[in-house]
Amino acid sequence: MPFCIIILVLLTIGLIMMFSASYPVAYYSLGNSYYYLVRQLIFAAIGVACMFGVSIFNYNKLHRIVPLIMGISYLALIIVLIVPSGEAGVHRWIPLGPFNIQPSEIAKFSTILFFAHWCSKHYDKMQLPKFSVLPGITVFGTTAMLLFLEPHYSGIVIIAMLTVLMLYIGGMKTRYLAIGGIILGAVVIVLAMTGGLTYAMSRMDGWGQSLEYTTEDMWQTTWQTRNSLYAIGSGGLWGLGLGQSRQKFLYLPEPQNDFIFAIVVEELGLVGAVLILLIFALLVWRGITLSLRSKDNFGKLLGIGLTSQIGLQVILNILVITDWLPNTGISLPFFSYGGSSLIMLLAQMGLVLSVSRTANIEKQ
């Protein structure tokens, strides 16, 4: 119950802040201040229904459908490359009537699910490369290749982190992870030297230079990150007040998406931002604690992986909006606008609740 309450508290705060951040741009660009709020409320209602529905589902039955879910993930990653590209020639979403599906969100879940299944099934053999290195390279490599073609580099980074986490807690030897990191680093260097990372390098332009007004081009390149820093700085200790942000009035582009936490800091200040981050930390801690109580390794690995995904995305999002990382498009869980992310996250939290429920029944 405490874990469920924490999720609903974060979701409620996220909906309030998403509306506060989005109504100016929704009014100016779409003529309807409530456009993003109404859609996000629909996504939230579907997500909460999925969360409670999944929470009474026996997570162990997922063992049987791992190949199916992996197949759906790969199919979606292939389909998105076929549909017409969006802005800047990237392929990120599959249009489905009035809504869009983002395959990378499915890929994150399928990666966690596969490694939870594999590591629990071969737990006593994970010290052997055949049962750890080979599946790790196969699953991550194929998924990363499809994301590379979109291109969606932030998705690759998150899935790489999730792969390392799942293999590590699944029993893989640390030296294999180190060797894999060296090989991956070498691949990145080769791609960068051969021009294969042109899009990624363009996103790194201006990184760490948001407040340095050197050229007109740099001024335009760092526009979003610079206004994010302005928002954070003007929030001060206590903030300007809920709804009182200035940067959301067409200064900070897409304030309802990846940079929403900058508006949160501007309106609620350092105190409000820290409290929200503490709630996120409490969610991750509680989720991992519940998962460790599971009666089987599959429940432990699945719950830890799903909960850790939230923690990773929160950390990376904060690093991006403060210019500690390049602007790579990482959403803030439960806050950023987007149906695929919100529904998938809530459904995944339902699985953690399922793990906890099963553990409690076994305990009784």
Quick: pLDDT tens for 254-294: 999 999 999 999 999 999 999 999 999 999 999 999 999 99
| Domain endpoint, select from 178, 204, 230 | 204
Q: For residue 212, is it within any domain?
A: no
DSSP state of 31: S
Same domain, 249 and 177: no
Mean of the per-residue pLDDT values of the chain: 91
Same domain, 150 and 227: no
Q: What percent of the chain has pLDDT over 90?
A: 72
Which residues are within 8 A (CB) of 179 and not within 5 positions of it... i.e. 6 or more apart? none
Q: For residue 216, is it within any domain?
A: no
Tokens of 23: 């109504």
Total number of domains constituting the chain: 2
Tokens of 286: 């509680």
Same domain, 66 and 200: yes
Q: For residue 209, is it within any domain?
A: no
Q: For residue 152, is it within any domain?
A: yes
Same domain, 346 and 236: yes
Residue 242: left if φ>0, alpha if ψ -120 to 50, beta else—which one?
A: beta
Same domain, 79 and 135: yes
Phi, psi of 194 (to 5 degrees): -100, 5
User: How high is the pLDDT of residue 220?
Assistant: 81
Same domain, 31 and 82: no
| Domain endpoint, select from 169, 204, 239 | 204
Reported residue count of the chain is: 364
What is the rounded distance in angstroms from the CA atom of residue 12 to the CA atom of residue 10? 5
Same domain, 76 and 166: yes
Map tokens 């363009």 to a residue. 202
User: How high is the pLDDT of residue 184?
Assistant: 79
Q: For residue 110, is it within any domain?
A: yes
Q: Which domain holds residue 110?
A: 60-204
Q: For residue 65, is it within any domain?
A: yes
**Lowest-pLDDT range, 99-103, 153-157, 174-178, 310-314?**
174-178
Give strand pairing partners of 101: 94
Give strand pairing partners of 82: none
Q: Quick one: 174 exposed, middle or buried, by C-beta within 10 A (0-12, 13-18, 19+)?
A: exposed
Same domain, 120 and 234: no
User: How high is the pLDDT of residue 364?
Assistant: 47
Same domain, 154 and 170: yes
Same domain, 65 and 198: yes
Instruction: Indicate whether this model's pTM tops 0.85.
Output: yes
Q: How many helices (H) and strands (E) does the chain have?
A: 13, 2
Q: For residue 213, is it within any domain?
A: no
Q: Nearest-CA neighbor of 200 among 147, 253, 239, 159?
A: 147
Same domain, 36 and 154: no
CA dist list (Å): 130 to 62, 135, 143, 146, 242: 23, 8, 19, 24, 54
| Domain endpoint, select from 171, 204, 237 | 204
Strands 99-101 and 94-96: antiparallel
Same domain, 283 and 297: yes
Q: For residue 217, is it within any domain?
A: no
Map tokens 């779409």 to a residue. 30
**Lowest-pLDDT range, 73-87, 140-154, 206-220, 324-338?**
206-220
Q: State yes or no: pLDDT of 362 exceeds 70.
A: no
